[in-house]
Amino acid sequence: MTITTAPQPPPRTRTLRSIRIPRLARRARGVVLSLAVALGAALLPLPAPPASADAILATIPVGADVDRIVFSPDGALAYATLPQDDAIAVIDLASRTVLQRIPVGAWPNDIALTPDGTTAFVANMVAHRIDVIALPTRTVAASIVIGNSPIHLEVTPDGTTIVVTIRDAQRVLFVDIGTATVTPLGIGAYPGELAVSPDGTTAYVARSNDIAVIDIPSRSVIGAIPVGVAPRQLVLSPDGATAYVGYNALPRVDIVDVAARTVVGSIPTPAPRGMTVTPDGATVYVTRNDQNEVAKLDPVTRGITETLGVASPTSVAVTPDGSTAVVTSRSRHTITLIAIGEVAELVPAADLPTPTLGAAYNISVARSLGSPPASFAVTAGALPAGLSLDATSGVLSGTPTSAGPYSFTITATNDVGTTSVSYSGEIPAVLAATGLDPAGALAAALAMTALGGVALLGVRRAGRTRQGD
């Protein structure tokens, strides 16, 4: 799309759909229900929505049309594009306040940071340039004029190159950060969203009907991945092995094996507006603007695990530590913070130390408590005599009082789910203080007692002899 005028609010045809589709759906459900009751049909209950695991922490007013968002490496600050205000908002996530606005070129459409978090690059669609922001001073230090409308951009993991998509010119630009040298690559088919592999060697670019595979060092297209029509969203798993593709109109997210360059599955969902993957790769978050909700997708089960109500969600990103999802609501001029729920993690069976008879034992079976914090219980078998489990902390403590084999299962449970690990082993029949087995310790004690008795008897006899002299 070529933009040659001053920035104007994009047409909000989505609002019409967001009103009509739910009404039609409600009317359709009402008709079906009435017909079934009239015919005396037995209606099967609809499955209940999954229990809420994530929780909305806060909604922060930004005061402007807010779209894309990225984070400082420590996750303390968020930087959000304000397209209609030609600015970048700096947001403190702890205090939940907007600290500052950084003026940039006309219509900032995307933003990316260097890995060290010292520099931000902003794709200004109408200004036809990339602004370079020095984040320590929060000022524009330079601008790279490219003569076309940059749509999206990413910085390679080594911090040396910016990869930029130019839709109207149907090409990709490679910008050398050190020299500001721009190298164009024509790829056709209206490039849009892009993602860079974790090793920085490959860029994946969404085109009209496929994903272009680009070798970054040679600046060349080396292949294509066939997908559905008009891919809109494209993100990579943290290990770079899997790509997730969302569409303008298709009600699904495709799962792509990037090595095989093929779609290996799909997750049914209304067309997402924004999409991201958690740092552990376990969850894909999508914003569903027409439904006023954010959905969590499970790449393994290929289903929706949870939905949360958020008004007019646009884009979504997850903080580097994986604790918080941040959702922008462009038309509402807000961002929403969501605490990400996670199951607890238990110590593997092989890593749990074997207790010692007669020795104090204090070990936590929880590698992480989960979010919200889990409760812990023995759900099978029995703990060794003398040990107990704290239900809140997951700490096993006490002093073993008997030797022999043991076997037990500990289960951690929170709102997200449960996880269990079975532990087994044998407590040696050796006392911690002596290093002897109980039988040996008893024999030694008896021997000491016997020797002491003989010695004492000898003293007493000798004393009586002396007294009789």
Q: Are residues 66 and 133 in the same domain?
A: yes
Q: 71 burial class (0-12, 13-18, 19+ CB within 10 angstroms)?
A: buried
What digits encode the pLDDT tens for the residues 368-404? 998 889 999 999 999 999 999 999 999 999 999 999 9
Give CA torsion, residues 14, 20, 23, 27, to 10 deg. -140
Higher pLDDT among residues 154 and 440, named by residue: 154
- pLDDT for the residue numbered 329: 97
Q: Are residues 213 and 349 in the same domain?
A: no
Residue 350 inside a domain? The answer is yes
Residue 462 inside a domain? The answer is no
Residue 208 inside a domain? The answer is yes
Residues 6 or more apart in contact with residue 432 via CB below 8 angstroms: 356, 357, 358, 359
Q: Are residues 309 and 375 in the same domain?
A: no
What digits encode the pLDDT tens for the residues 169-208? 999 999 999 999 999 999 998 999 999 999 999 999 999 9
pLDDT at 291 over 90: yes
Q: Residue 240's domain spans which residues?
A: 13-22+49-339
Q: Partners of 296 in the beta sheet?
A: 285, 306
Residue 147 inside a domain? The answer is yes
- pLDDT for the residue numbered 53: 80
State how many domains the chain has: 2
Q: Which of 317, 339, 361 is the last residue of a domain?
A: 339
Q: Which of 304, 339, 374 is the last residue of a domain?
A: 339
Q: Are residues 292 and 384 in the same domain?
A: no
Q: Are residues 206 and 328 in the same domain?
A: yes
The CATH number of residue 266's host domain is 2.130.10.10
Q: Which of 275, 307, 339 is the last residue of a domain?
A: 339
pLDDT at 49 over 60: no
pLDDT at 459 over 80: no
Q: Are residues 265 and 332 in the same domain?
A: yes
Tokens, residue 190 = 């209206």
- pLDDT for the residue numbered 372: 86
Q: Are residues 323 and 370 in the same domain?
A: no
Q: Are residues 280 and 419 in the same domain?
A: no
Average pLDDT, the chain: 85
Residues 6 or more apart in contact with residue 452 via CB below 8 angstroms: none
* Range 276-303 average pLDDT: 96
What digits encode the pLDDT tens for the residues 12-35? 333 323 323 333 333 333 333 333
What digits encode the pLDDT tens for the residues 153-164? 999 999 999 999
What digits encode the pLDDT tens for the residues 59-103? 999 999 999 999 999 999 999 999 999 999 999 999 999 999 999
d(CA 448, CA 82): 86
Q: Are residues 304 and 406 in the same domain?
A: no
Please report, rounded to a whole number, the percentage of residues in the chain having pLDDT higher than 70: 81
- pLDDT for the residue numbered 297: 97
Residue 352 inside a domain? The answer is yes
